[in-house]
Amino acid sequence: MSAILIVLFGTTILYIFAASRIEAFIKTLALQGLLLFLLILIDLHEINWWNIALLGLETLVIKTIVIPYFLLAVIRRNEIGREVAPNVSQLYALQIASVIFTFGFIVAFWAARTGTVAQPLYFGISISVIIASLFLIVHRKRIITHILCYMMLENGIFLLSLSVANEMPLLINLGVLLDLFVGIYLFVIFFDLIHAMYDGNNIDVLTELKD
């Protein structure tokens, strides 16, 4: 069951690469949050109940509801609809996403052969989500999309930390910390500041500082 959820989590990359509407990106992030919540319920047996409760709160409440809600409010308030012309065409981006996704499977099989990783699929798919997020940060131009890509990067890292959660619950709690502080607090605040000060949301406006 968890393998199906992880693969489903991986396929969300393809959808994000194909979608140009920011709202679709945010809703996919919410879906990723829900998938992570289900994975916690299915896979984590060896950690104590309050840790499970904390992780449930993080995934179901923060990742699935609160962050998407705030981000949707931000894009509606600022009337942001679609991604502006990206650096690479959509078709090529989708092909690259397929390659990254395939790479995730290859990494998973190869990790299984090293024999040290308990759940290779976690590792393969999360690495592909992390690489996909980094690619999208370079590929997309809107500041809000960069925030969304960062959220996706965090989701990928969260998935990776789930693979060692039974042995090291501390790590997954730190992942939660990363989400809470950087994700909500600074990004939303500074995004609003930039929007107010620059009257635009394209990174092309941030060119005052250069050599």
Partner 1 sequence: MRMILLVVPFLLSLFVAWARHRVVNRVALLGTGAIYLAVVTSWWCSWDLDLEPAWLAGYFTVDPLGLFFLTVMVLVFLGSAVYSLAYFQEQKLSPGREAAYIAVMLLFVLAMTGVLLANHLALLWVFVEATTLTSALLIYFERKKSSLEATWKYIFICSVGIALAFVGIIILSMGSQSIGSLFFADLYLRAGEINPFWLKMAFAFIIVGFGTKIGVAPMHAWLPDAHSEAPSPVSALLSGALLNSTFLGLLRVQEIMIRAQQQEFANFLLLLLGFLSLLISAAFMLNIVNYKRMLAYSSIENMGILFIGISLGKTGIYAALLHSVAHSLAKGALFLTSGNILHLYGSKQVADIRGLLQRDPPTGWIWLISLFAIAGLPPFPTFLSKFLLVQAFFTAGQGWLSAPFLLFLLLIIFGMGSAVVAMTFGAAPAQAPGKIPLNLFAYGPQIIMLLVLLAIGLQIPAPVQAMLKNAAGFFH
Give residues in contact with partner 1 (CB under 8 A): 114, 116-117, 123, 130, 134, 137, 143, 146, 150, 153-154, 157, 160-161, 163-164, 167-168, 170-171, 174-175, 177-178, 181-182, 185-187, 190, 193-194, 197-198, 206, 208-209, 211
Please give the Cα distance from 181 to 159 (Å, whole number): 18
- State phi, psi for 82 to the nearest 5 degrees: -110, 165
**Nearer Cβ to partner 1 (65/203):** 203
The three state secondary structure string of 140-173 is CCEHHHHHHHHHHHHHHHHHHHHCCCCCCHHHHH
For partner 1, the closer CB: 68 or 120: 120
Cα(94)–Cα(97) distance, integer angstroms? 5
CB of 18 or CB of 170, closer to partner 1: 170
The residue among 69 and 167 lying less far from partner 1, judged by its C-beta, is 167
Q: Smallest gap, in angstroms, from Cβ of residue 209 to partner 1? A: 4
Minimal distance, residue 91 CB to partner 1, in Å: 26
Question: Please, what is the minimum distance in Å from the beta carbon of residue 104 to partner 1?
Answer: 14
How far is the C-alpha of 202 from the C-alpha of 187, rounded, in Å?
Answer: 15
Which lies closer to partner 1 via its Cβ, residue 77 or residue 167? 167
Provide the 10 A C-beta neighbour count for residue 205: 14
User: Residues near 116 by Cβ (< 8 Å), separated by ≥ 6?
Assistant: none
CA angle 134, 23, 191 (to 5 degrees): 65
